[in-house]
Amino acid sequence: MAPSLAWWAAADRANMSAMAEPTATTPDEKTRYWRTSRVELRAAGFDPDRARNLGLVVTVASSYTNAHRCNNRVGRITDLVLDAVAEAGGQGLVVGTPAVSDALTQGTPNAGYSLVSRDLIADCIEVGHRAHHANALVVISGCDKVGAAAMMPLARTNDPGIVVYPGTSSPGSVDFGPWAAKGNNLTILDYAEARAAEEAGRISPGELAQIERCIMPGSGTCGAMFTANTMSSITEAMGMMLPRGASHPADVDAASDVHDDVKAHAAASVAALHHLVAEGIRPRDIMTRHAFENAITTAYALGGSTNLYLHLLAIAREAGVVLTIEDINSIGARVPLLANLQPHGPYAMVALHQLGGVPVVMRELLDAGLLHGDALTVTGRTVAENLAGVPTLAELGDQDLVRPVADPLAPGGNHITVLHGNLAPESCVLKLSGKTLERGQFRGRARVFDSEAAAMAAIRASEIVAGDVVVVRNVGPAGGPGMPEMVMLTIQLQGRGLGADVALITDGRFSGVSHGILIGHISPEAARGGPLAAVRDGDTIVIDPGNRSLDVDLTDAEIAERMAAWSPPPSTVAPGSVRDKYVRLVSSAHYGCVQ
Ligand code: FES
């Protein structure tokens, strides 16, 4: 009599159980759970006999989606990684993750899903990796939150792993207006500000249409030192990505294959992974306190996004590294601004890649004594060993993209600064990027809004004028929920010529694209009873970078009196939804919004 299906399934499980090691410690022990279930392998299209003798079984964490240009090349790169793993005698197992594009969500009711997705992506990779019994990981990143999440499961599982970056957008050019002077360095920032300028009547619809056609010829992340490239640069500086892996273009244009540098990066990353496994080098061997300090130093020299605060705090927790918001501030404060990249400068990320990439900046920092050269990296070598062959700025000759430490764009203490005050008892972050608030203190009239949409309506109605401080509250980690980025507001202010004369403060956050007089991450947030909830129209707000303070011109008693009448805003999330769970778990921005 033929055995029943139940018999086969039971026998197979028994077979697996007999070989199971609940406390598997070697790569072979881990992967046997996946490699030895012959019926499952055959049904899934694998050759059970080949599987038995496989080398590495690698989780290939793939944030592919065809929905947007930030991650639409990830599918192709996933295939490249799978092929490279197979050529080396191993097997890649794909784990999918969401990939939220901020370009699709910013300024919409779904903007809060972006930050929510960071921890969800990390969880997806952990679940897939553990459930498939793989013994190493290649994480393919992409848009902001995938880039932020990429190192989290590596540190969490501490299985050998490496991050591959799909690449940034190639830039473009036009021959009119202020954009002509930038040459072939136009990015999505230029389009966004041109759109606001057209809305304000400062350029024609035809000029906007030309910018739309010319500035972003193909796929890739936002093309300058915005959040995705900040996180790719941090990953490289941390040692978890191969040198010069953080800056390549994703492609030449929308019709081309992925860029040759992406192909080379993917193949070299798989080779490096094998070396890591052979040498027994795990993520926490690399992601040390020194590595975090290198990442912070490099990100500040590059002029990175304020989001680095949230994400580094979350990554450090996963790595078991003690790191506070004040640590990031004090490490960053000694770092001069070196890279002349957008949003504070004219250049696109691809220009930095052509100059030699992030290693050029790191070499200058190392030579100035600002990096820990002994930190280990995924090459199996130290930072200093990796940088030994990188040309110095003197050897590169005449260029104004990367400045020397001795003659920076701005001295230390002029990029992102943590402030405190009666509006931010925990903390908030001010982004200076070396060139705003030259006048020192900014005092202005509060214009208070309880949503981004209400603030946008006021700006578009020309109700916001020089000297105003736009206050956008109830958009924090819990209030948003998901702490949406106020980038559409900052773009409107810039496009209307108000960037230097109007401040924007919020318990939400900013895109790396944002620039101006901007304070975000105000903690505690208004929706959880932070004093931002007490501010009223017409109050005087005082921003003082010199004293590292943000205050409303009210006494403690006046704030307390107003807060006595305060009640939390009503919830807008559906019970049981991902946002409902997020609101219940999320910590303040002061702690990186970790759950
Ligand atoms: Fe995806 Fe900017 S929106 S990288």
449 & 501 share domain: yes
Please say if the pLDDT value at position 14 is more than 60.
Answer: no
Q: What CATH code is carried by the domain that includes residue 583?
A: 3.50.30.80
User: Would residue 410 count as lying in a domain?
Assistant: no
**Per-residue pLDDT, 35:** 87
Rounded distance, CA 553 to CA 583, Å?
31
Q: Are strands 442-449 and 540-544 parallel, antiparallel or unpaired?
A: antiparallel
Last residue of a domain, one of 215, 237, 270: 215
- Identify whether the C-beta of residue 95 lies closer than 8 Å to the C-beta of residue 64: no
Rounded distance, CA 190 to CA 273, Å?
38
- Per-residue pLDDT tens digits for 87-139: 999 999 999 999 999 999 988 989 999 999 999 999 999 999 999 999 999 99
Mean pLDDT for 342-363 is 96
| 221 CA → ligand 1 middle, Å | 5
194 & 333 share domain: no
Q: How many C-alpha atoms does 307 have within 13 Å on its Cβ side? A: 35
Atom of ligand 1 nearest to the CA of 69: 1
User: Would residue 527 count as lying in a domain?
Assistant: yes
Sheet holding 161-164, edge to edge: 91-96, 57-62, 136-140, 161-164
User: Would residue 44 count as lying in a domain?
Assistant: no
Predicted confidence band at 290 (pLDDT cuts at 50, 70, 90)?
very high
| Ligand 1: residue whose CA is nearest its atom 4 | 221
- Per-residue pLDDT tens digits for 432-491: 766 655 667 899 999 999 999 999 999 999 999 999 999 999 999 999 999 999 988 998
User: Would residue 24 count as lying in a domain?
Assistant: no
| 517 CA → ligand 1 middle, Å | 22
Q: Which of 284, 250, 281, 253 has the alpha carbon at shortest distance from 265?
A: 250
Residue 45's contacts (CB-CB under 8 Å, 6 or more residues apart) are: none
Average pLDDT, the chain: 92
The phi and psi torsions of 46 (rounded to 5 degrees) equal -95, 155
For residue 66, the tally of other CB atoms under 10 A from its CB is 9
**Per-residue pLDDT, 180:** 92
Atom of ligand 1 nearest to the CA of 228: 4
For the chain, how big is the Rg over CA atoms in Å?
A: 25
For residue 363, the tally of other CB atoms under 10 A from its CB is 25
Q: Is 511 a catalytic residue?
A: yes
523 & 587 share domain: yes
User: Would residue 488 count as lying in a domain?
Assistant: yes
Atom of ligand 1 nearest to the CA of 104: 3
- Per-residue pLDDT tens digits for 33-63: 898 889 999 999 999 999 988 889 999 999 9
Looking up tokens 């019926």 gives 39
| Ligand 1: residue whose CA is nearest its atom 2 | 222
Predicted confidence band at 4 (pLDDT cuts at 50, 70, 90)?
very low
3-state SS string for 28-75: HHHHHHHHCCHHHHHHCCCCHHHHHCCCCEEEEEECCCCCCCCCCCHH
| Ligand 1: residue whose CA is nearest its atom 1 | 143
| 407 CA → ligand 1 middle, Å | 31
Exactly one of 117, 233, 247, 511 is catalytic; which is it?
511
Lowest-confidence segment of 10-14, 85-89, 417-421, 539-543 by average pLDDT: 10-14
Predicted confidence band at 177 (pLDDT cuts at 50, 70, 90)?
confident
Rounded distance, CA 536 to CA 540, Å?
9
For 536, the 3-state DSSP assignment is coil
| 229 CA → ligand 1 middle, Å | 9
**Per-residue pLDDT, 16:** 38
Mean pLDDT for 188-217 is 91
Strand partners, 471: 448, 505
| 244 CA → ligand 1 middle, Å | 20
186 & 156 share domain: no
- Per-residue pLDDT tens digits for 305-326: 999 999 999 999 999 999 999 9
User: Would residue 25 count as lying in a domain?
Assistant: no
How much of the chain, in percent, has pLDDT values that exceed 70? 94
B/e letters for 191-205, b = 16+ CB within 10 Å, e = fewer, are: bbbbbbbbebeebee
210 & 262 share domain: no
Rounded distance, CA 312 to CA 3, Å?
55
Ligand 1 probe mutation, 101, 113, 230, 305, most atoms within 8 A of CB: 101
Rounded distance, CA 154 to CA 276, Å?
13
Atom of ligand 1 nearest to the CA of 142: 4
Residue 23's contacts (CB-CB under 8 Å, 6 or more residues apart) are: none
Q: Max Cα separation, the chain?
A: 90
Please say if the pLDDT value at position 11 is more than 60.
Answer: no
507 & 375 share domain: no
Element (H, E) at 235: helix 227-238
DSSP secondary-structure letter at 220?
S
Mean pLDDT for 337-352 is 96
**Integer CA distances (angstroms), 54 to 38, 160, 279, in order:** 14, 17, 19
Last residue of a domain, one of 372, 387, 402: 387
361 & 442 share domain: no
User: Would residue 129 count as lying in a domain?
Assistant: yes
Tell me, yes or no, if the pTM score tops 0.85.
yes
For 519, the 3-state DSSP assignment is strand
Between 19 and 193, the higher pLDDT residue: 193
160 & 272 share domain: yes
Supply the DSSP string of 68-110, one letter for each residue: STTTTTHHHHHHHHHHHHHHTT-EEEEEE-----HHHHTTSTT
Last residue of a domain, one of 340, 367, 387: 387
Strand partners, 163: 139
Ligand 1 probe mutation, 63, 65, 70, 487, most atoms within 8 A of CB: 70
| 513 CA → ligand 1 middle, Å | 10
Please say if the pLDDT value at position 19 is more than 60.
Answer: no
Residue type, 76: R
- Give me the number of domains the chain comprises: 3
Predicted confidence band at 422 (pLDDT cuts at 50, 70, 90)?
very high
Please say if the pLDDT value at position 12 is more than 80.
Answer: no
Range of the domain at 182: 177-215
352 & 462 share domain: no
Ligand 1 neighbours by CB, cut-off 6 Å:
70, 101-103, 143-144, 221-222, 226, 228
Residue 443's contacts (CB-CB under 8 Å, 6 or more residues apart) are: 540, 541, 542, 543
Please say if the pLDDT value at position 593 is more than 70.
Answer: yes
189 & 226 share domain: no
Atom of ligand 1 nearest to the CA of 106: 3
Please say if the pLDDT value at position 13 is more than 60.
Answer: no
**Integer CA distances (angstroms), 515 to 199, 222, 246, 303, 519, in order:** 19, 15, 22, 11, 10
300 & 437 share domain: no
How remote is the C-alpha of 412 from its chain's centroid? 22
Residue type, 223: G
Mean pLDDT for 66-84 is 98
Ligand 1 probe mutation, 114, 141, 144, most atoms within 8 A of CB: 144
Residue 395's contacts (CB-CB under 8 Å, 6 or more residues apart) are: none
Please say if the pLDDT value at position 500 is more than 90.
Answer: no
Mean pLDDT for 528-546 is 96
559: which 2 tokens?
Answer: 């704030």
- Identify whether the C-beta of residue 328 lies closer than 8 Å to the C-beta of residue 296: yes
User: Would residue 12 count as lying in a domain?
Assistant: no
Ligand 1 probe mutation, 221, 233, 485, 510, most atoms within 8 A of CB: 221
142 & 277 share domain: yes
Atom of ligand 1 nearest to the CA of 221: 4
Q: Which of 407, 402, 530, 404 has the alpha carbon at shortest distance from 471?
A: 530
